[in-house]
Chains A and B, each alone.
Chain A
Amino acid sequence: MGPIFALFAVIALVLVAFVGAGVANLHFLFGVVIPYAAFAIFIVGFIYRVLIWWGSSPVPFCITTTCGQQETLPWIKQSKLENPSSTSGVIGRMALEVLLFRSLFRNLKTQMVEGTKLVYGEAKWLWLAALAFHWSFLVIVVRHLRFFIQNIPAPLKAIEGLDSFLQVGAPLLYISDAVILLAVTYLFLRRVFIPQVKYISLAADYFALFLILSIAGTGVLMRYFLKVDVVGVKELAMGLIGFNPVEAKKMQEIGVLFYIHLFLVSSLLMYFPFSKLVHMGGVFLSPTRNMTANSRMKRHINPWNYPVHVHTYEEYENDFREKMKGAGIPVEKE
């Protein structure tokens, strides 16, 4: 049910773009208006999510999840990255988390063997696929900058060069294209074939995967198989960032596949701030990871800390004075 619904949703998006740009010739709508709107929704929505929605709530307590030895006596070695008590440690921990998915790397597979024995095995495939997916996605996004820059800078060329270092195919195969398709396919298959993961998966989880798969798929089709007018694409892109859209005739010549691709990307951008994809920002704001584990060294302030009713010592002594005296415990009032 979930995957089928998500699949139809993505097919519907493809059809909308196909009909809109390919049949109804609404090139200005699909090539200019929707991309602008999508970008605006993405930026505003993401800023809202991070700064307004999350940012408006304080972090009242220092709730670091400590994954290593605390800072303690000088002769005991602290785990400075897994239990960081300094800002540099936190930066290191976050860098490992964001760039290398350190926590996911810990993943284990818990299994029952011989009826009643639990064993814990390596389980690195999820980590590998997730890392491959996110990094290839990033490389692809960076590569797309060439459409928005007149003279391609050297670092960008270097990335393109590295990404195509296998030197196969014409045009040269980008490794990131192959990797993203494989990784997303793996992420989809594990959702379907691991019973527990299937059980927790929502339609939204499949939708995100299918949407990204279709974006990568249409991109690959355009580059390697059903060529579109790349010069026209660049002109359109340059027009977009220069707020000077190209003329309608040129837009028509690009080819409908491009508009499908662009519409899917626009859909992703619009969907992003309202979905689980906000984990892109959230990972930086997760208190269990981004807080310094120095709560006994430095007082953490809770902005909404308020006075509470307590049972005072005086009240306690009033309740138990005679018993205390009987037991030889000193009291304040005889």
Chain B
Amino acid sequence: MAKFTAKPDELSKIDFTPPRTRWMETPVEIREHMFCHAAKPKELDVVGFPNGHEWRPQDEDWKLPENWERMLLEKMSDLLGKYRSFKVFMDICVRCGACADKCHFFIGTGDPKNMPVLRAELMRSVYRKNFTAAGKILRKIAGARDLTVNVLKEWWYYFYQCTECRRCSVFCPYGIDQAEITMMGRELTNLLGLNIGWIAGPVAACYMKGNHLGLEPHTITSSVEFFLDDIETITGIRINPSFNRKGAEILFVTPSGDLFANPGTYTAMGYLMLFHELGLDYTWSTYASEGGNFGFFTTNEMAKRLNSKIYAEAKRLGVKWVLGGECGHMWRVLHQYMDTWNGPADFLEVPKSPITGTVFENAKSTKMVHITEFTADLIKNGKLKLDPSRNDHLKVTFHDSCNTARGMGIFEEPRYVIKNVCKHFYEMPEDTIREKTFCCGSGTGLNASENMELRLRGGFARANAVRFVHEHYGVNMLANVCAIDRATLSTSMDYWVPGVGVTGVHELVGNALIMKGEKERTIDLRMEPLPGKEGAQ
């Protein structure tokens, strides 16, 4: 595969003219740089996924199992029976097109099959043919078509060009959620062994080792050791966190990405510093060392299997409640799925901040609190000494992650925290934030490297809004509460808006936090000089 080299000005020339041929007669073209490599059979075997086999998306022959049509249609029937959302969303779309130009992939590619309505029609057409009287009788007139290899390829290509961000569902007059349809599409492709490596690998790693990155227990502790060394260099304070400690009050779970790569690592340092300063009785876990859930991008069952570790570990360690770090889809799962799958967590207590005494009533069943809820409460109650001037070199904007925005609604908490630790905060245009926020372009396990064109095109809308505040207010830092964002927006910013960095909210907190007994700080968590301290070292 040739390296992706297209320049931003080439990529932003987007043709929105639909093809001359109607969509059913326009076969899918599996384009280089727009798709991810296939999953390896061994990655699927680890977790018992069916039909793992060697295949390549660009090949003519996908080496599908015999009877694959019947398998798919049976599975589809099964899913229709399990999810009312699936049935209703198959039936009620009127094709008004309100969702069309709301999708970041459509905006970035101009490909009509990336309009949520049409991406859904790819599946509706097969639904009509097989599950409705009108489709069986009137066929094409009713928008029905047979399930063929080409249709399956089209499903695969476009259901892995959707990040389940749910922006379309905000604008749909019936709340039709493409994420639901994509999830069904991925259940179906997964059935035939047509998963992608970038998802299947982390799923297998998470299942066996506890986290997507496959960090083994000693690697986790040694990664954290590195952070502790850096924190000591910066603050003069040696922190001593615990792992898998029974009897701790709080279990802390965060995406493993925060332990692995910049700038997520700085966010992890922020957590460590905050918890140390509070004297929080908490523990990390190496078994439940993943907040994120790539299983969510395969099958519902797999997501549940991975998620089960959090409550299991909380129970084993005997903690009172669980605190969750900054991550997007992790919070959709924790907020809307975890309790249903693996609850009730009746062995835990309703979360109560040991510092402020605040009881988190909104998490009284799941017993899991979002870190920005926790920190916002600390700041509101005056429990933190903060020096926001340490972030004075930053002009910050905030990117709402799709999942925390539209699958949770956590808008004010992170903003409140940011505004208390930074003096310069600027919002992006209102149609691109909060419930109308744009995806980073690489969610749902699409943050591979071989699909770089897709990622950059998908990230174009978000980057465009950042560019606006960059040009108007000099914004140079894009804050967010998502590990995938921290990884992928860095790539997107370097490409579309050079000069804008990416940070987690708790990195900013870590910088501003005045710790007891700390030495005079001259550098920030990135080991770069603090404003006004450039000559200090």
Contacts and interface: CB of A to CB of B under 8 A. Distances in A.
Given A65-B170, A65-B177, A202-B143, A319 B208 contact: yes
B524 interface: no
A212 to B, nearest CB: 12
A54 B87 contact: yes
Nearest to B376: A73
Given A53-B87, A69-B409, A327-B218, A316 B341 contact: no
A296 B316 CA distance: 22
19 contacts: A53-B91, A65-B166, A66-B406, A69-B409, A72-B413, A97-B173, A103-B98, A106-B170, A115-B12, A198-B18, A199-B112, A204-B141, A274-B134, A286-B174, A297-B361, A326-B218, A327-B217, A329-B217, A329-B218
Range of interface residues on chain A? Answer: 35 or more
Interface string A128-143: 0010000000000000
A64 interface: yes
A104 B343 CA distance: 36
A297 B365 contact: yes
A117 B464 contact: yes
Interface of B: 8-9, 12-14, 16-18, 22-23, 48, 80-89, 91-98, 100-102, 107, 112, 115, 117-118, 121, 132-134, 141-143, 166, 169-177, 180, 207-210, 216-218, 221-222, 243-246, 286-287, 301, 304-305, 308-309, 312-313, 316, 334-337, 339-341, 343-344, 358, 361-366, 368, 373, 376-377, 380, 405-413, 416, 429, 431-432, 434-436, 460-461, 464-465, 468
A320 B412 contact: no
Which 3 A-B residue pairings sit nearest by Cβ, starting from the closest? A282-B92, A66-B409, A70-B409
Contact of A72 (B180, B362, B406, B436): B362
B175 A289 contact: yes
Contacts of B286: 320, 324, 329
Contact of A287 (B9, B85, B335): B85
Interface stretch (A224-232, A237-245, A261-269, A304-312): A304-312
Given A118-B461, A324-B217, A68 B87 contact: no
B8 to A, nearest CB: 8
A62 interface: yes
A65 to B, nearest CB: 5
Contacts of A328: 221
Given A63-B85, A82-B435, A309 B95 contact: no
A117 B13 CA distance: 11
Nearest to A56: B81
A157 interface: no
A200 B118 contact: yes
Nearest to A202: B143
Interface stretch (A19-27, A32-40, A175-183, A189-197): A189-197
B45 to A, nearest CB: 13
Interface of A: 1, 5, 49, 53-73, 75-77, 79, 82-83, 85, 97, 101, 103-104, 106-110, 112, 115-118, 120, 126, 130, 194-205, 274-276, 278-279, 282-283, 285-289, 293-302, 304-305, 308-313, 316-317, 319-320, 323-324, 326-330
A323 B405 contact: no
Contact of B94 (A65, A276, A295, A299): A276
Contact of A67 (B12, B170, B416): B170
A116 B81 CA distance: 45
Contacts of B23: 199-200
B177 A308 contact: no
Given A61-B340, A108-B102, A200 B95 contact: yes
B238 to A, nearest CB: 15
Contact of B429 (A5, A49, A104, A120): A120
Contacts of A1: 22
A110 B288 CA distance: 42
Contact of B95 (A49, A201, A300): A201
B33 to A, nearest CB: 20
Given A130-B96, A299-B340, A330-B246, A283 B84 contact: no
B239 to A, nearest CB: 15
B216 A320 contact: yes
Looking at chain B's contact residues, the main secondary structure is helix
A229 B177 CA distance: 49
Contacts of A279: 91-94, 174
Nearest to A277: B94
Nearest to B429: A120
A67 B92 contact: no
Given A67-B406, A196-B115, A296-B365, 4 more contacts: A126-B97, A203-B142, A204-B141, A313-B313
Given A126-B96, A196-B97, A297-B364, A76 B339 contact: no
B246 A63 contact: no
**Most A CB within 10 A of own CB, among B173, B174, B246:** B173
Contacts of A198: 18
Contacts of A58: 82-84
A237 B304 CA distance: 57
B365 A298 contact: yes
Given A75-B380, A283-B173, A68 B339 contact: no
Nearest to A274: B134
B443 to A, nearest CB: 16
A71 to B, nearest CB: 5
Contacts of A107: 98, 171
A299 B217 CA distance: 32
Contacts of A60: 82-83, 340
A62 B118 contact: no
A195 B434 CA distance: 29
A73 B380 contact: yes
Contact of B373 (A66, A73, A104, A293): A73
A288 B9 contact: no
Residue of B87, B121, B368 ringed by the most chain A CB atoms within 10 A: B87
B97 A304 contact: no
B121 A68 contact: no
Interface centre among A61, A276, A288, A326 (most CB of B within 10 A): A288
Contacts of B134: 274-275
Given A196-B115, A298-B365, A324-B286, A83 B18 contact: no
Q: Which one of B89, B245, B335 has the highest number of Cβ atoms from chain A below 10 Å of its Cβ?
A: B335
Contacts of B244: 324, 329-330
Contact of A65 (B48, B112, B175): B175
Nearest to A323: B218
Contacts of A126: 96-98
A197 to B, nearest CB: 4
Contacts of B86: 57
Contacts of B436: 106, 108
Contact of B92 (A82, A276, A293): A276
Contacts of B366: 295-296, 299
A293 B218 CA distance: 39
